[in-house]
Structure 1
Amino acid sequence: MIIKSIESLSDGLNILWNDNSSSCFPWLWLRDHSESQVDLHPDTKQRQINVFSNPPNNSVATVLLDRISKNILIKWEDESESTLSFDLLQSTSEPNLPQSNAMNSSSCWSDPSEIKIFPEITYQGFMSDGGIKIWLNHIQRVGFALVIETPETSDATKELMERMAYIRNSIFGGFSVWDNKLENPDDTAFTSLAIEPHTDGTYVHDAPGLQTLHCINRDSIGGENQLIDGLAIAEKMRHENPDAFNILCNVNIPGRYIKPGTYLEAHRPLFRVNNNGDVIQVSFNNHDRAPFRLKNDQMVKFYAAYKIFHNLANDSSRQFEFMLNPGKVLTFDNWRLLHARSSLTGYRQLCGGYHNREDFESKLRSV
């Protein structure tokens, strides 16, 4: 939108846009959001003005519309000045509450055939200029990305991950190398057993945002990986089973992780929604679900709703299945996709780790 004109009113500055809509910004809001170098640090972008401890005189002397610099300049009676860019005013033209935006432009898929542009990039392409942006856009769009022709080493995988952001530490450490022959495995993932569809970290308050896996040695049969779009299941339930959907938005399900000296537990609904009702996180791990009890009638309804989600997630027609061979690095959105694995026989060595959700969103905004 383009500013057509401005008008000073008693309660704020009214802006008329080129589509003939208008936005009235309160005077205190305009002062609080000033982007002048005095009010907003030019390097840190942190607010330096304080309109609360010593409330300023909000009487307006003049308001200027500078189309060259694309700013609105306000001079106050106390001789201070505020500057607000057209971009800021346009982005806040409607009242809104801040929302997580990493799932914006997502393309839900209920069947792998619905993925029109396959999310794959070569290692050389990923490491080149602009490669990280392509990779991030794949993850934002369909929830995962594959980097092929990657050197079959843990060092190359770690370098790939660090190109996105620093690697998150967890109960399993940071960047890790492991196999399916551990004598005392901490988790089913470190065994040869089949793993049902799930998201990681239901037992921590801030579940990992991205997970990266690379099979660097494989001498085995089986062990196919499956990915399922939890966001697509959420939207299906919202429209076809709204009562069940609402139950899974409102019941806090406990997840737990127990080993000697450690007992992690967190509570979160299966579907976490924002103020607009958009699903911003899917949390599901039947393996790690801890005991809890609701009133009997509510418990029955919960089990019925949970069963719908469970059965949809385990429907093979919804699952993208592939073999994670050496040279193929998988990164997926752990707040959106469920992942699973078939049982295997033989030996398999993997490496990988986690990234924080905020780092994923930060990179999306900045590349």
Structure 2
Amino acid sequence: MTERNPGTGPAAGMRPAVARALADLGDRLPDLVVLAADGRALATAFAARHPDRFIDVGIAEGNLMGVAAGLARAGQRVVVCGMAPFLVRRAAEQLRIDICRPGLDVTVLGVGGGLGYGTLGATHHVPEDLGALSAMPHTRVYCPADVHAADWAVRDAVLGGGPRYVRLGAREDPVVHAADTPFSFDRPGVFDFDGPDSTSAPGDPDAPGDAVVVAAGRTVAEALRAAEAVRPHGRRVRVLGLTAVFPFPREALLAAVSGASTVVTVEEHHVLGGLATQTALALAGRWHGTFRFLAVDERPAPVLDQAGLFHFYGIDAASIARALVEPPPTPE
């Protein structure tokens, strides 16, 4: 799926789009039940249409997973909605043992994964969610970049069956995909940015960028801005935007980096268990070049909004641009 120099569009929140998707799925699937933990933003429309299939358990995320598991074992298709930090951390044992280990049909929608809740601080940050859920048995993990990717991810997760986790934005995210983008689990979006001297045809799969940036979620927009910013430097950049992050699309990655001299990963996540880890494992022994990774580090987060935290941790567009044009540091 190649998307040509799209830039980024106006920001939009994922929650309204996901709420519409759940309501639509509720109309189509009489066995769909939606659960929440003291939060109805994602389920308002569903609950209005199907009040007998919506349950709010209150601030009790562990119990929430137990109820979801029981309903799934009884033959229901279940969606769990809540704040990502509390679903991922507070209910980790129940999620792993009750839902993921037996492979039950439960989709977990985590709002505000990564650094999405910004100024609310460390209790509300969860920069390990994608890696933690990727390590759960039988679980597929999604990290959509915008409203269009979120709509597809939720529908694909619910219709696909089995344990699923979808990281959703807590605020508004730049729109990077066209509304009619044909998403696929194992085919990430490919965005090509040619340098000023390029003679390749638009979207030519045989003329990849000399640098590839691998991103997911909110960092896709940052990567697109960086790719545009380095065009005057003569760099031809390909951005690989992942909506589905686990199982990791290794073959798509290897195809995207063929001929590239530099690969940069950027993620709103700790380096362990995230895009850098998965990319390095996929490239090991099969690609040779300069590999750089930008990720959330172990420093305590200051009180900043999401954009400020991106700058603090060096995962914003300016940091990606520097990684693309500056020589790698010399080993000491």
Q: Which has the higher helix share?
A: 2
**Structure richer in strand, relative to its length:** 1
Using structure 1 for the length normalisation, give the TM-score: 0.21
* TM-score computed with the length of structure 2 as normaliser: 0.22
Greater RCO (CA < 8 Å, at least 6 residues apart): 1
Larger Rg: 1
